[in-house]
Amino acid sequence: MNSELSSQQVQDIGEQGLLERLQRFCPPEIIGDDAAVLVTAPKQSLVVTTDVLIDGVHFSDVTTSPEDAGWRAAAANLSDLAAMGATPLGITVGLGLPGKVRVSWVERLYQGMTQCLQKYNISIVGGDVVRSPVTTLAITAFGQVNPDRIIRRSAAVVGDAIIVTGVHGASRAGLELLLHPELGQDLNDEEKTALIRAHQRPQPRLDVLPILWKILTPNSQLPIAGMDSSDGLADAIIQICRASGVGAVLERREIPVPKTFNHWLTQEQVLEYALYGGEDFELVLCLPQELASALVQHLGEGAAIVGSITSGSTVLLHDEQKKFPDQVLSLSQGFQHFNS
Amino acid sequence: MNSELSSQQVQDIGEQGLLERLQRFCPPEIIGDDAAVLVTAPKQSLVVTTDVLIDGVHFSDVTTSPEDAGWRAAAANLSDLAAMGATPLGITVGLGLPGKVRVSWVERLYQGMTQCLQKYNISIVGGDVVRSPVTTLAITAFGQVNPDRIIRRSAAVVGDAIIVTGVHGASRAGLELLLHPELGQDLNDEEKTALIRAHQRPQPRLDVLPILWKILTPNSQLPIAGMDSSDGLADAIIQICRASGVGAVLERREIPVPKTFNHWLTQEQVLEYALYGGEDFELVLCLPQELASALVQHLGEGAAIVGSITSGSTVLLHDEQKKFPDQVLSLSQGFQHFNS
C-alpha cells in the first residue's frame, strides 16, 4: 500500500467507493441485491444475535488495532451462537463512520472480522455503511441449531455439575498488561504475549459443540443449560441460576485460571479477574455429574467442574480449605453501561 | 405517564433498567438467552438485510417523531425483504444511546417499530443497547423465500416490461411540506396529510408478493428481476440495468405520481421528486409484457408499466409527446453519504 492510499479518508472515496473496497471481504454471490440469501439445513431452527460496539466505549485505538477490534467483534457474536448450541451461517455488518476515518483502518477492521470468520468457514453476508459522528460497528450473526439441542439459560436443575471451558481472567489480564506495560515484571515475553493474545484474539468455543453432542448422544432429549462468559464468569453463573430458579455453589480452587497468574497477581486479583474480568468467551454449561465428567475429560485445556447447582437462589463461593469465608456472588461488580 | 417518568433519562435507569422496559416489545419466549431462536419453514432459504441509521443523518426530531423514526426504520428493512421476494420472520435492533436520551423517547421509538412489524405478524426478536455519543439504530431483518422465487436485480432481460408499484415522489413531497410548511398552499389539509403520511409511515410492499406468485404460477421457473425504490426510482432502474447488463427506456408520462402534484409543483419538480425523491419503498419489477399487464391489473393504486428493458446500457427517459428531449438518467442526482 503506498502512502497516498494509506492516508486516504472515507470522505475521499464516498459511500460507493468504500462499499466497493469492502465487497472483496464478501463472497461474490451475495453482492448486489437488497438482501443476502443463505441456505439453511433442513429441520434446523434459525438463531440470531446482535451486538453494537462504539468507538471509545467498546474499543479504542489505544489498546486495540483495527484488526483486533474486528476479530473481537466477530468472536463475541459467534460466542453467542455457541452459547445457544448453534453452528454459524454468517454475519451482517452495519458500520457508522466519520468521514475522516482512514479507508485503511476500515479495511483492517474487515480483515480482522474475516480472519475470525474464516476459522469457521463463514463470511460477511451483508451490511450497511453510513456516515456517523462516531465509529459504530453493529454485527448480527445467524446460525442454525437442531431444535432438540438448543442450549438455554433456563434449563439448569438442582444437582447439575457446573462446567467451565478453558481458563478465566486471561482477557482481563491481557488488557491490564496493554494498559499498564509496567505490570507483570515477573512474566517472560511469551507469557505476556499469551495473555495479551487472549484479550486481542478470543476464540469462540464453537469447537465444544460437536464434543458436547457426542457425549449427549444417548441422552438426545436432555435439556442443556448454559451460556457464554462474555460478561464474566460470575455473571454467567448468576444469569443461569436466575433463569432456572436455582442457586449454585462454586469451589474457589476449582476455577481454572492461567498458570501464570500466581507469578504477578494477588489471590484477590486472581479471583476478581477470573470471576468479573469478562470477555473470555468461554462456555458455562450445566449437566448431570456423569456427563459433566465425560465432557471435561474430552475438552482438556483448563476445562473443569467448578461447582454444582443447588436449590435456593444464592450463588455461593466456597473454600474447601476454609481459608476464606463463604461469599455470596452478585452482579454488582459487573458493568452498568449507562451509569457513569 | 406522569411527569417524573416522562422526564426520566436513560442514564437514570441504566442498561439493565432500559432492557427491562424494552422487553415488553418482544415476545416473551425469546427473552433471556444469548440469542433468539426462530423456526423457518422447510425448503425456504434465509434472507437477511441490515440498515444503520444515525441521529442527525438519517432521522431528526425536527421532522420525525420517535414513533415515525421507528416505523420508517422497520419499514425500510421489510422493504428490502420484499425486494428479494421474502416473507419476514423478525428483526433485531441494535441501539446506541447517549445517557441523556429520555426513556420515553426510546419507548416511543420501539412503539413505532412494533406498530409497523405487527402489520406483518412479526416481532423484534433480539437486540443490544449500548451507550454512544450519538443515537444510532442498527436493524437487521430476516425473512424466508422459496429459492425458485428469489427476486434479483440481475435477472432483467431485453423486452421485459418495467412495472412500478404505487406512486413515486410522495415521500419526498411529504418531507418538503414538513420542512417548509409555507409550501403547498393550494393543497387542502387532507392532501397535505396524505403526502406527509407517505413520508412518515411508508408501507413496505410485502402485499405485492402473493399477487406476484399467483400470476407467475404457470411460470414457476421464471427468473424475476426487481428491487425496491428506497433510493429513488431512477436509482432502482439504473441498478437493475447495471446488474443485468441491459438498458431501459422509460416513458415520462407513465410514471405514477400523486394526483395532487400538479396543484403545487412545477413539471420539473414532479419529475425530480418521482425519479430522485427516494424513500417511497415501492417495488420495481421486470417481467414479460403479458405477465406485467396482468400484475398491474391486480395491483391497482397507481401501479403501472413505465417502460421496457432494452439492449445496451443507457437508461433513457422518453417523452412520447415529444415536448421534452430524450434524457439519459444517471445516479449523479442521488446521494453520496460521505461527500459533504
* pLDDT of B237 strictly over 50: yes
Query: Cβ of B48 and A93 within 8 Å?
Result: no
Which residue of chain A has the CA closest to B129?
A: A52
A99 touching B (Cβ < 8 Å) = yes
Query: How near does any CA of chain A get to the CA of B4, in Å?
Result: 19
Q: Taking residues B210-238, what's their average pLDDT?
A: 91
- Could you report the per-residue pLDDT of B189-208, keeping only the tens digit for each? 999 999 999 999 999 999 99
* pLDDT of B221 strictly over 50: yes
Which residue of chain A has the CA closest to B79?
A: A34
* Residues in B touching A18 (Cβ below 8 Å): 338
What residues of chain A, 229 to 258, have a C-beta less than 8 Å from chain B?
A: 243
Query: How near does any CA of chain A get to the CA of B90, in Å?
Result: 10
Reported ipTM: the value is 0.87
Q: How far apart are CA A286 and CA A63, in angstroms?
A: 34
Q: Tell me the pLDDT of chain A (340 aa) as tens digits.
A: 445 556 899 999 887 788 888 888 877 766 667 777 777 788 889 999 999 999 998 888 877 899 999 999 999 999 999 999 999 999 999 999 999 999 999 999 999 999 999 999 999 988 899 999 999 999 999 999 998 899 999 999 999 999 999 999 999 999 999 999 999 999 999 999 999 999 999 999 999 999 999 999 876 678 899 999 999 999 999 999 999 999 999 999 999 999 999 989 999 999 999 999 999 999 999 999 999 999 999 998 789 999 999 999 999 999 988 888 899 998 865 434 443 3
What residues of chain B, 149 to 178, have a C-beta less than 8 Å from chain A?
A: 150, 152-154
- Could you report the per-residue pLDDT of B291-339, keeping only the tens digit for each? 999 999 999 878 999 999 999 999 999 998 888 889 999 886 544 444 3
Query: Cβ of A84 and B37 within 8 Å?
Result: yes
Where is the binding site for ATP, in residues of A? 110, 127-128, 153, 230
Tell me the sheet residues that pair with B127.
B93
Query: How near does any CA of chain A get to the CA of B71, in Å?
Result: 19
Query: How near does any CA of chain B get to the CA of A91, in Å?
Result: 9
CATH architecture of the domain covering B151-333: Alpha-Beta Complex (3.90)
Which residue in A174, A147, A161, A325 sits closest to A264, CA to CA?
Answer: A174
A100 touching B (Cβ < 8 Å) = no
Among positive and negative, which fits the CA dihedral B190, B192, B197, B200?
Answer: negative
Residue B244 Cα distances to B154, B156, B247, angstroms:
4, 6, 9
The annotation status of B58 as a binding-site residue, yes or no, is: yes
pLDDT at site B324: 85
pLDDT at site B31: 66
Tell me the sheet residues that pair with A137.
A53, A95
> For A150-333, which CATH class?
alpha beta
The domain locations on chain A are 3-146, 150-333
Query: Cβ of B54 and A130 within 8 Å?
Result: yes
Mutate to test the interface with B, among A10, A59, A101, A132 (most CBs of B within 10 A): A132
Which residue of chain B has the CA closest to A334?
A: B16
Amino acid at B278: G
pLDDT at site B294: 95
Q: How far apart are CA B78 and CA B86, in angstroms?
A: 9
- Tally A–B CB contacts below 8 A: 258
> For B3-148, which CATH class?
alpha beta
pLDDT at site A340: 31
Q: Taking residues B134-155, what's their average pLDDT?
A: 94
Query: How near does any CA of chain A get to the CA of B127, in Å?
Result: 6
Query: Cβ of B338 and A99 within 8 Å?
Result: yes
CATH no. for A3-146:
3.30.1330.10
Query: Cβ of B136 and A136 within 8 Å?
Result: yes
B221 touching A (Cβ < 8 Å) = no
Amino acid at A230: S
User: What is the pLDDT confidence band of residue B19, given thresholds at 50, 70 and 90?
Assistant: confident
Sheet with B124-131, strands from edge to edge, namely: A36-38, B45-54, B136-145, B87-97, B124-131
Spell out a b/e string for A201-219, using b for 16 or more CB atoms within 10 Å of the CB, else e: bbbbbbebbebbeebbeee
Mutate to test the interface with B, among A12, A130, A140, A227 (most CBs of B within 10 A): A140
A148 touching B (Cβ < 8 Å) = no
Query: Cβ of A92 and B150 within 8 Å?
Result: no
Query: How near does any CA of chain B get to the CA of A332, in Å?
Result: 12
- Could you report the per-residue pLDDT of B254-273, keeping only the tens digit for each? 999 999 999 899 999 999 99
B285 touching A (Cβ < 8 Å) = no
Residue A256 Cα distances to A83, A168, A270, B13, angstroms:
19, 6, 10, 35
Where is the binding site for Mg(2+), in residues of A? 34, 49-51, 80, 128, 228, 231
pLDDT at site B301: 78
